[in-house]
A and B are shown apart, each in its own frame.
Chain A
């Protein structure tokens, strides 16, 4: 089930939220667990089994780990291997076969498999629990319902944020649902939904149109338009989902970590990764980078550690070479910044501006690689952006790609990617007029977003394709 569907917003969410607010405290976790299972099984109930196996493996793995401390490393490794085996099978198996076939001239058949929704997120959450228990950061969770709730919790199941066990363990045991949290949660949810429906989807349509065409059929300006629209789409789509997740979490009394902090205002790629998908970057930092030695090692080893982390980051995002190259692209800039000190705060405004420009170029080019269907297309697209394509066969007038609503979305997207309205939800009670205006604006945004969701259900039938 998607957050941006009529069924979620207007059936699932009201039923779950109202029931949750009305039932007794001791039943709240059970209700959330049932709701999360229904949410997960909604589209493809068969894959619920994978999730149940993951829960059982990690539940018993952690118990064994705490019981037999002398063999903790072996138990930890075995459990993580099982966790990752599912992820590799469902997400990377065909990719591995494809490359093995190409490399060794083999003819191994692809497997017919659909990736279970959210598997990358809940696998990492399960591993987080296990590692936390191994490190004795948290006690083992003996209540299987509570562990199940942590792994399946529906607000962050599909698109994060990846909640680390030590951040949420206490909240699963005890949390308070207050009026203020609910009000703030609803507001965050509306903001997230609006980001997704009004900005991300609008700009996504522009990017889709451009990226669907052969590169020679559009000029450099259009290529930049596509790259910028996609950069904004990705940010608003992903941060919109995170906002909705954080908002829903607040309604249920949880406080999840922020996942985005205005990443596009960064002055270096190092800073970018402190602001972009924070839950993933901190996950890799805590569970991969630091165990590898972090930066308390020789410089060359640190660069290697960074290389490994960004290779893993790229692979985590998907089973395509474009993702791998995208991860390494970011890794390259981070290593470069570490080596040159370019990411450090500069006092000269000209250097600051140069830092901003450099960062924007770096991540926008990165997103082109990320979005392209393959590396060859990405290369051609980048050449086009920099005017390196000699002969164009321009297909459409500019108006085909972009109209007033898309221009508005781009302007809104750029403005809102800066921390101008950061405090909009923190207006104090005394400022009644401003608070009322914000609330009215949020209701309008909710209605507009709902209209966009509803419009997607309009589906006229034409079988006369010609």
Chain B
């Protein structure tokens, strides 16, 4: 009996320890992760490598206080770098609160600068690096925001950003950083709270262990089943044990559901309480990331390809978005007739207002990169045939740059690997094809040559209205660990050399933009379309004195009904109207004038 008591006491103490760890935020303000990562971070480390030529280097112009910048010998043409060049090592002291750091350099030579944001380089005695985390946020390069949100980085899990520089260019790096404080668990302990929590945990554990042991000692039940039931009920309590208080999920790109009470302040009963509660709990339960990652991990390792209801991953890290696939268009005359009616109406509308209309159809990613898609269709893609038939019967030029995109993908990525949009290179190819067509009517207008742009590469995705860089929509929809996705792709980006002369008036709510460019042709162009217009507008506005971008699919609406912009089109004295859609959105053409359906 004495032995059994000892056993029960030991089990009670062990259980107390587990409970104390679980409830550590109650008495220490720290979390479990901190407990296990007991090394303090005191500095940040940036490795900046200027590749391209062995004489390349970055000359210090200005540095914030607390920042040390060196060019050590080991970083001079290092053998492990793919190109020759010279590296700079930056170290800066950091504190408990975020502080801002600025570094300014001048480029000596032409090439690409790789900036690595890291944690300190600390090693164990056996030479292995031990993980020390640092928080970074608000990272900007030459004034351009690269990321705003807080990132936790270490020497081994850093963040890389590339930028092309020419001799004499300046490089300004800005960021904010602070310590990752792992020893809060001990240093931040509230003694009275700790004692209270410990006492309550111990009493609860003891009660539970003694209660459970009754089943064995008095009722002679199977110990195996006692352990089984204990584990089962313990597992049941984990999701409720901690509720995530974040407002937003970066990974899911949305606000997390808020708790809506059963009875509001005015005493009204919320009849949707059940649904509200489920939404709130589903977004915030403990170990949510762990469980969803486990699900992903299993599927990825068992299946030959991985998919969710919104995206699927193909070969070599190509991620495809569901709903952005190839579309099977009905080629029968009666269906084509529906499109003809709509396009004839558009043509008449444009003719009355002295406007020349064009339609640019972007091929879908599945079509251009079908070799990487696991869902490759057996049969034809009939878009080409459909558009050929349609083109013959309408007076509006329809441009579908599939063959151009297929050829262009040999040089650079035409589509992002982790997003369904075309890259700026892909958009540029389509832009060239469109301008060739426009030139037939407006001989003075021609595609702007690549030499008028500064070209740079990045492994991040920029495709949407906000013009920010990210991982891509398809990647987000996949909920997939980064380590399994090859994110090493470098996408070609363009910035016009006279970008400063372009005036842009934005309405972010409607996702419209008005561009004014003094050296453009004395014409006004309006571009209406889906998100594929965003990268397209990196080029197009430089051809015209005035141009407008109207998004057909916004948060509130998603149709091409021209009446939405009819007033603007007329008031702007539009000369050219361009509709830009991707292949999968061709049926949107049937909504140009909804009233025609009723006639």
Contacts and interface: CB of A to CB of B under 8 A. Distances in A.
A256 interface: no
A457 B222 contact: no
A455 interface: yes
Contact of A10 (B229, B240, B530): B240
Given A7-B281, A393-B379, A460-B476, A403 B305 contact: yes
Residue in A1, A186, A439, A458 with the greatest tally of chain B CB atoms within 10 Å: A458
Contact of A179 (B221, B308, B477): B221
Interface stretch (B97-105, B449-457, B578-586): B578-586
A396 B232 contact: no
20 contacts: A6-B282, A7-B277, A7-B281, A10-B236, A14-B236, A14-B240, A43-B275, A179-B225, A396-B375, A397-B377, A400-B374, A400-B375, A403-B304, A408-B302, A432-B224, A439-B227, A457-B288, A460-B477, A460-B479, A466-B581
A451 interface: yes
A376 interface: no
Contacts of A182: 229
A326 B303 CA distance: 35
Contact of B281 (A6, A190, A451): A6
A461 B239 contact: no
A180 B221 contact: yes
Nearest to B465: A464
B395 interface: no
Contacts of A447: 235, 294
A186 B232 CA distance: 8
Given A466-B531, A466-B558, A451 B298 contact: yes
Nearest to A432: B224
B232 A443 contact: yes
Contact of B254 (A5, A396, A460): A460
A70 interface: no
B233 A42 contact: no
A396 B378 contact: yes
- The 6 A-B residue pairs with the shortest CB-CB distance in the complex, in nearest-first order: A461-B254, A454-B291, A42-B274, A455-B295, A466-B530, A457-B282
Given A10-B240, A11-B240, A404 B281 contact: no
A141 interface: no
Interface in A32-62: 41-43, 45-46
Nearest to B362: A466
Interface string B269-283: 001011101100111
B378 A394 contact: yes
Nearest to B236: A14
A443 B219 contact: no
Given A7-B281, A10-B239, A454-B292, A460 B310 contact: yes
B294 A451 contact: yes
B553 A405 contact: no
Nearest to B219: A179
B328 to A, nearest CB: 8
A461 B253 contact: yes
Contact of B303 (A183, A400, A405, A465): A405
A7 B282 contact: yes
Given A403-B303, A451-B294, A457-B288, A14 B237 contact: yes
B253 A462 contact: yes
A37 to B, nearest CB: 12
Given A11-B281, A448-B298, 6 more contacts: A6-B282, A14-B237, A182-B229, A450-B235, A464-B473, A466-B553
B530 to A, nearest CB: 4
Contact of B285 (A6, A180, A404, A458): A6
B188 interface: no
A13 B236 CA distance: 8
Contacts of B240: 10-11, 14
Contact of A435 (B222, B252, B303, B588): B222
A7 B271 contact: no
A125 to B, nearest CB: 23
A460 B251 contact: yes
A13 to B, nearest CB: 7
Contacts of B274: 1, 41-43, 45
Contacts of A421: none
A459 B252 contact: yes
A353 to B, nearest CB: 34
Interface string B49-87: 000000000000000000000000000000000000000
A418 interface: no
Contacts of A439: 224-225, 227-228
Given A6-B281, A11-B281, A452 B237 contact: no
Contacts of B310: 460, 462
A46 B271 CA distance: 8
Contacts of B575: none
Interface in B191-245: 215, 219, 221-222, 224-225, 227-229, 231-233, 235-240
B296 interface: yes
Contacts, number: 176
Given A183-B225, A429-B222, A451-B291, A10 B323 contact: no
A405 B299 CA distance: 7
Interface in B281-322: 281-283, 285, 287-288, 291-292, 294-296, 298-299, 302-305, 308, 310, 321
A132 to B, nearest CB: 33
Contacts of B299: 405
Nearest to A9: B236
B555 interface: yes
Contacts of B271: 45-46
Nearest to B584: A466
A263 B302 CA distance: 30
A104 interface: no
Contacts of A405: 298-299, 302-303
A18 interface: yes
A463 interface: yes
B376 interface: yes
B464 interface: yes
A45 B302 CA distance: 42
A351 interface: no
B473 A443 contact: no
Interface string A411-449: 000000000000000000100100110010011001110
Contacts of A435: 222, 224-225
A395 interface: yes
Interface in B375-425: 375-379
Contacts of A466: 324, 530-532, 552-553, 558, 581-582, 584-585, 588
Contacts of A111: none
Nearest to A439: B228
A460 B275 CA distance: 18
A455 B296 contact: yes
B378 A452 contact: no
A436 B222 CA distance: 10
B479 A446 contact: no
A399 B221 contact: no
A399 B305 CA distance: 9
Contacts of B278: 1, 5-7
A449 to B, nearest CB: 10
Nearest to A463: B555
Q: Which of B222, B254, B305 has the most CB of A within 10 A?
A: B222
Interface in A181-216: 182-183, 186, 190
Contacts of B477: 460, 462
A458 B292 contact: yes
Contacts of B251: 460
Contacts of B377: 395-397
Nearest to B529: A466
B295 A460 contact: no
A18 B240 CA distance: 14
Contacts of B298: 405, 448, 451
Contacts of B292: 451, 454-455, 457-458
